[in-house]
Amino acid sequence: MPQLMLSELREQVWRANQALVRAGLVTLSFGNASGVDRAAGVFLIKPSGVPYERLTPADMVAVSLADGSVAEGDLRPSSDTPTHLLLYRRFGSIGGVVHTHSSAAVAWAQAGRSIPPLGTTHADHFHGPVPVTRPLTREEVEGDYERETGLVIAATIETLGLDPLEMPAILVASHGPFTWGVDAEHAAENAIALEAVAAMAAATLALDPGAEPVGQYLLDRHYNRKHGPGAYYGQPAGNAKGPQ
């Protein structure tokens, strides 16, 4: 992605946070979006505990990628900041991270189940089953909890041999979803897609507990028409507002 000025990134991260609320993904104040400026060595994240309706772009807190300290801003950053930091440091290709407690995705996380790709909506956004992490240990929870959450996410993605941009979502067991993308806007879009896909999969399995994942050929076709080198879904870059 082209590097945005920090002021533009502020706007984008603020908009991504608002998009989560508009999509109904935020319960109380659970949820946060961030976006990184790797050239500037910082990421911007929602402050902790400020009601969404009172947030302004200026409230987004700048956090150092090098050590997690607050680089700019008067407010305390989201308590999930160490998880975001770990993910940015581990996955160099990602530019935005989102965490929510959206109900359908949380249900899968609480059941400790990965979400199988049962149809094309899933395939459009996630190139395979959306994985679930192992439960965190007591030591991890009682220790540097938010950083340990990031470590477990990264370990799960790496152990499964996944490209983080092809699988931009994970369920943290007994907790909820984290999503990411090339920037904060795409990370929020993936959080919205994940919630829809989680609800569809639960409804499908309620109707037919034996429903099978789609074939690799359908998964590949749908994923690649949106994301592959020959992508043809939507409008070409520069004409994003054209008719869909």
Q: Is 124 a catalytic residue?
A: yes
- Order the strands of the 96-100 sheet from edge to edge: 70-72, 61-64, 42-45, 31-37, 96-100, 176-181, 169-172
Contact 126, 216 (CB under 8 A): no
From the candidates 144, 163, 208, 233, give the one annotated as an active-site residue. 233
Catalytic member of 52, 124, 183, 223: 124
Dist. CA 97–CA 182, nearest whole Å: 9
**Does the annotation count 233 as an active-site position?**
yes
* CB distance 240 to 145 below 8 Å: no
In degrees rounded to 5, what are phi and psi of residue 108? -65, -40
Q: Could you count the other beta carbons within 10 Å of the beta carbon of residue 167?
A: 22
Task: Show which residues are catalytic.
Answer: 124, 233
